[in-house]
Structure 1
Amino acid sequence: MLEAKLSEAGILKRLLDAIKELVADANFECNEEGVILQAMDNSHVALVAVKLLATGFKKYRCDRPLPLGVNLGSFTKVLRCAKDDDACILKAADDADILSLTYEARNTDRIAEYEMKLMDIDADTLQIPDTDYDARVTMPSSEFSRIVRDLSQLGESVRIEVSKEGVRFISEGEAANGNILLKQTEGAGKRGSSSKRDEDEDDEDERESEDEDRDRKARAKKEKVKKEDGEDVDMNGDAEDGDEEGDGEFKSKGEDDDDDDDDEKPGKKRKKAPAKKSKPAKKAKKADDEDASADAVTIELNQHVNLTFSLKYLVNFAKSSSLSNVVQLMMSNDVPLLVSYDFGQGYIRYYLAPKIGDD
């Protein structure tokens, strides 16, 4: 029995839109860890691997491993009946030939139910070996999408070269050539040390705040003692003297104490103000750092890499930019390119064999 609930159907819609042109039919392998899809295109040049983690679902239950063979074109049509913010519930019984989909609207009482026929697909799961890549490039997914889309207007292939200079995309066509160089973002390698400094500053602010709290408590305790002493003096003065002059003296003393209290209150406000203002400023700085990291280009290079790939496939891979703001390109000479998009509910990874010679 499978029952899985996604908080937003839009995640599944964007996922299928990214792979439906590469793969026609595929098995969604469901188990206790989540939902896995692995399939190759018809020409066996590209491999796509998708994983939706069980923790990425709002509710997930899978009693035993269960394959769901679906036609991705039909699945996409059924998903188009849901709004992006609708909750999507997938249900399938053991050995069933039907997949049930329920869409629950977020702000209304609308509930839509659909059923889709499952297919019996005989496909072997490939074992993808772990590879130590010579070059890793992390860049904005929108920039990668723009590069491959622009270069696809010029030629059918792109040569990707990773060196100390940066990552270069080169396409040569019959009528025009294109050459795009992305250099590593300045300060990208120092991001870790910067975040460490921010943590140290936060710890220092917490210590200062604790010291201020202790000082305020000490002053409040001291003022309380003064006030109690003043009340004792007033009571003694009324009992012994009872004259107006004595009362006046004690009143003036009380007024002096009040004046002292008034003098201390503005001081407290001045000390509180900087602490309150500093925290939002630091939060804004952290948000800016996160935005900057999404727009940064980072390169990890062990060895110079120079490979050629089909732009048709890379353009299809780039459709996954709707799932993640960041893409990773991992390359080694004579090894398939790995294009990886990580998002909150899991990941999608593409493997593409390089072109050799005139192929």
Structure 2
Amino acid sequence: MFECKLNDAQLLRKVVECIRELIKEGRFEVSQNGLSLQGIDSSFVALIQLTLRASGFDSFHTDKPMLLGLQLEQFCKVLRCASLNDSITLQAQDPGDKLNITLQSKDDDRISNFVVRLIDIDAETFTIPSKTYNCVVKMPSSEFQRIVRELSGLSDTVGIEISQDGITFSSDSHQSSGKIQLKPSTLEDGQKVQVKAEKPITQFFALRYLLSVAKGCTISDSVVLMIANDIPLVCEYKVENLGNLRFYIAPKIEED
């Protein structure tokens, strides 16, 4: 039997909403360490890695490792029923074919029970090797989303250039072009742009993927971007004290 409780149901909703932007089905792995999910989009461009530690939940118990396959849109429909201060409890049996979900108000005066059917998902698990990234940028997630949205109106591709001077996002098409640079600094709202660059690097990415990834701003106030030559861009959001959500986005190959 598996059962866990999280006092902030809205946080789980935001995480799943962000994931379902890129994958329709998710296979959650349950272990003594917590919940994890790995998935890849249908075009094999974006890989998602979610890690939620057992210690971050208000309670967490499982008798043995389990796999919970879920249709993410159906899961989200239930999570959207949660009010602002609701807690959420997930429960599943092994063997079993359903996930029991309980939403409970802070004052315990409203309890909602739902059942979502589990599905079999035949998905390959990818081993993500440890990499050293030449360039790492930490910036406000809201600013990342704003920049991606602004440049998406100009082209379907964005260039990301990182150097000691800062990070530059650029977009270019036959009709128009744009460039937005952020220098290492403290912004008006007090959030910082931090840049570590061993050497300058420029890579290009499909904007439609970054638009989806940028919706992680609902999860965390900041995002960490990690770039190195010839490997995917990593966008990492901290999920409060639970763990983290990482997106690996393959760069576009620019044709001459």
With normalisation by structure 2, the TM-score equals 0.96
- Counterpart amino acid of residue 358 in structure 1: E
Could you say which residue in structure 2 is the equivalent of 1:318?
214
Deviations 1:284-303 (A, max 9, x none): xxxxxxx9896111111112
2:100 alignment counterpart: 100
Cα deviation 1:131-185 (Å, max 9, x = unaligned): 0001000101111010001100111000001112211101012321110011111
Partner SS state of residue 297, structure 1: strand
8 Å CA contact 2:164–2:196 kept in 1: the answer is no
Task: Give the conservation status (yes or no) of the 8 Å contact 1:140–1:294.
Answer: no
Deviation at 1:78, TM superposition (A): 1.3
Structure 2 gap segments, 5+ residues each = none
Partner in structure 2 of residue 298 of structure 1: 194
Structure 1 pair 60/294, CA: closer, same or farther in 2 (3 Å)?
farther
Among 295, 319, 327, the residue aligned to 2:223: 327
CA distance in 2, matches of 1:358, 1:78: 44
Please say if 1:351 is aligned against 2:245. no
Q: Tell me the distance in 2 between the aligned counterparts of 1:292 and 1:155.
A: 29
Larger mean Cα displacement after TM superposition, 57-66 or 169-178: 169-178
Counterparts of 1:124 and 1:84, CA distance in 2: 36
Q: Partners of 1:341 and 1:293 in 2: how far apart? A: 19
Shift of 1:93: 0.7
Give the structure, 1 or 2, with the largest relative contact order (CA under 8 Å, sep 6 or more): 1
Note if contact 1:167-1:181 (Cα within 8 Å) is conserved in structure 2.
yes
Residues 1:139 and 2:35 are matched in the alignment: no
CA 331–94 in structure 1, closer or farther in 2 if over 3 Å, else same: same
Taking the aligned partners of 2:167 and 2:2, their CA distance within structure 1 comes to: 44
Native 8 Å contact 2:141 2:214 kept in 1:
yes
**1:341 and 2:241 are equivalent in the alignment:** no
Q: Tell me, in whole angstroms, the C-alpha distance in 1 between the residues paired with 2:189 and 2:135.
A: 19
- The CA distance in 1 between the partners of 2:86 and 2:111, in whole Å, is 9
Matching residue's letter, 2:168 = R
Higher mean alpha-carbon deviation, 111-120 vs 77-86, is at 77-86
Which residue in 1 is equivalent to 2:114? 114
Cα distance between partner residues in 1 of 2:85 and 2:213: 24
Q: Residue 58 of structure 1: CA displacement?
A: 0.6
How far apart are residue 52 of structure 1 and its match? 1.1
Q: After the TM superposition, which of the residue ranges 105-114 and 56-65 deviates more from structure 2?
A: 105-114
Q: Percent identity?
A: 40
Contact 1:2 1:93 (C-alpha < 8 Å) held by counterparts: yes
Question: Is the Cα contact below 8 Å between 1:139 and 1:294 reproduced in 2?
Answer: no
Larger Rg: 1
Provide the rounded CA distance (Å) in 2 between the counterparts of 1:62 and 1:19: 24
| Matched residue, 1:307 | 203
Residues 93, 294 of structure 1: alpha-carbon distance in 2 compared, 3 angstrom cutoff: farther
Count of paired positions: 255
State the match for 1:72 in structure 2. Answer: 72
Mapped contact 2:4–2:61 kept (Cα < 8 A) = yes
Q: Distance in 2 between matches of 1:185 and 1:81?
A: 40
Greater fraction helix: 1
Q: Return the TM-score normalized by structure 1.
A: 0.69
The 2-side partners of 1:131 and 1:165 are apart by: 23
Aligned counterparts of 1:56 and 1:315: Cα–Cα separation in 2? 28
Q: Distance in 2 between matches of 1:312 and 1:48?
A: 15
After superposition, give the CA deviation of every residue in 1:244-283 in whole Å (9 maximum; x if it has no partner): xxxxxxxxxxxxxxxxxxxxxxxxxxxxxxxxxxxxxxxx
Q: 1:292 to 1:146 in 2, by over 3 A?
A: closer
**Aligned ranges for residues 1-359 of structure 1 at < 5 Å?**
1-185=1-185, 295-344=191-240, 345-358=242-255
Q: Which has the higher strand share?
A: 2
